[in-house]
Amino acid sequence: MQKVGLGIIGLGYIGKLHLKHSLKLPNVNLVAVSDLSKRALKEAKNAGIKKTFTNYEQLLHEPNIDAVIIALPTHLHLQCAIQAAEAGKHIFLEKPIARNPEEAKGIVTAAHKNSVKLMMGYPLRFNKSFRELKTKMESGTLGDVEIAYATFISSGPFFHRAESHTPLPVPKWWFNRDLTGGGALIDVGSHIINLFRWYFGEITHIKSHLGYRFNLDFEDSAICFAKFESGTTAVITAGWFLQGYQLKVEFFGTVDHAFAQHRPSNRLVAATQMLTTGMSDFHRPHFDELHYFANCLLKDSSPSPTGEDGLKDLEAICQAYQNSICLD
């Protein structure tokens, strides 16, 4: 079988997950990885990756690499994506696309200019329940979806207490708004904005209320009110304050009501799933999106969600930040 030569840039939480999945994908040959952490590179070597780099520019020079996954902190996306595009590598870029629309436009332009494919990492589009919900909506069984609710509330970059008695440190960049572009809304809210744009089309109006429970200079909660081209009004709730993980979508149509959710299994169930299928259900959408990306490259088709999607998501988020209302 023909395989895509892949490189992974950044081995933080999500980069490590992509590494694990890439090794299992039948249509991917993971050639090299790069990260500043020598420990992460050692782990990658132990997992069977022959080429590891502390400088991603060296990885971009690898002739056997067709595409790269960019899983770096958000402030590094622009420079890395431009360099990858100029090196002729297709790009799978983790969300959010960038810190602001100007940077996002730079990334989209670089991909076009260098004729490389650019796909955004939004795994919810590959979640079975959320796909079924789209099919149901499009079949007309719900009627017109008048009101949609979405909740994505978790502990964000922080460990929650059920995860471990000994949590790991939070990388410093997460605490700096200048490096992230925002808080819970741009981080977990971007997943929902993207998902709802897939369901309902473009956002015509958006407002938000932002919460600052943890006294940081970025929001740890956001409630957005959005109007879509389809006429649907949505309430999108994003948060980083929960000792747990809740991701739910609920539609109220003129004919029927429907909902979908994505939730982690407890550790024992996850362990059983890993032993029986090699993967927990929770992480399957990440695996499937990468499988799809590699297939698009092999078939020379355009992967979706695109860089333009990433840009539009970010524009909506920035508009929500600008149109924030204060209820205090």
Partner 1 sequence: MSLVSFVKIQEDTINSFKKAIIDSLDLIGYSFTKGTENVVIKPNMCYYWDYTTGETTDPRFVAALIEVIREKFSPRTNISIVESDASAMKCKYAFKMLGYEKLSQDYKVNLVNLSEDTTKTVEAYAGGYKLKLQIPQTIQNADLKINIPKIKYSVPKVKMTCALKNIFGCNPYAKKFKYHSRIGEVIVAINKALKFDLCIMDGNIVSGVQPRRLGLLMASKDPVAIDAAAAKIAGINPKTIRYLQLAAKEGLGTTKFIQKGIPIDYFKAMYPRKGIQNKLMKQAYELIVTMGLNKKLGLP
| Interface ranges with partner 1 (CB under 8 A) | 20, 158-159, 161, 163-170, 175, 213-216, 243, 266-268, 270-271, 274-275
Phi, psi of 321 (to 5 degrees): -65, -45
How many Å apart are CA 175 and CA 172, to the nearest integer?
6
Longest dimension (CA), the chain: 59
Identity of the residue, 1 or 268, whose beta carbon is nearer to partner 1 in the bound complex: 268
Asked if 8 contacts 15 with a C-beta cutoff of 8 angstroms, the reply is yes
Q: How far is the CB of 47 from partner 1 (least distance, A)?
A: 11
Tokens of 99: 């810190």
Contacts for 155 with CB less than 8 Å, ≥ 6 apart: 163, 240, 241, 242, 243, 244, 245
How many Å apart are CA 149 and CA 253, to the nearest integer?
12
Identity of the residue, 11 or 226, whose beta carbon is nearer to partner 1 in the bound complex: 11
Identity of the residue, 168 or 255, whose beta carbon is nearer to partner 1 in the bound complex: 168
Q: How far is the CB of 245 from partner 1 (least distance, A)?
A: 14
Helix (H, G, I), strand (E, B) or coil at 172: helix
Q: How far is the CB of 111 from partner 1 (least distance, A)?
A: 31
Q: How far is the CB of 328 from partner 1 (least distance, A)?
A: 15
Identity of the residue, 42 or 112, whose beta carbon is nearer to partner 1 in the bound complex: 42
Tokens of 24: 């299992």
Q: How far is the CB of 237 from partner 1 (least distance, A)?
A: 19
Q: In 3D, which of 84, 99, 17, 110 has the Cα closest to residue 310?
A: 99
Identity of the residue, 55 or 215, whose beta carbon is nearer to partner 1 in the bound complex: 215
Contacts for 195 with CB less than 8 Å, ≥ 6 apart: 122, 124, 125, 130, 150, 249
Identity of the residue, 200 or 218, whose beta carbon is nearer to partner 1 in the bound complex: 218
Q: How far is the CB of 127 from partner 1 (least distance, A)?
A: 19
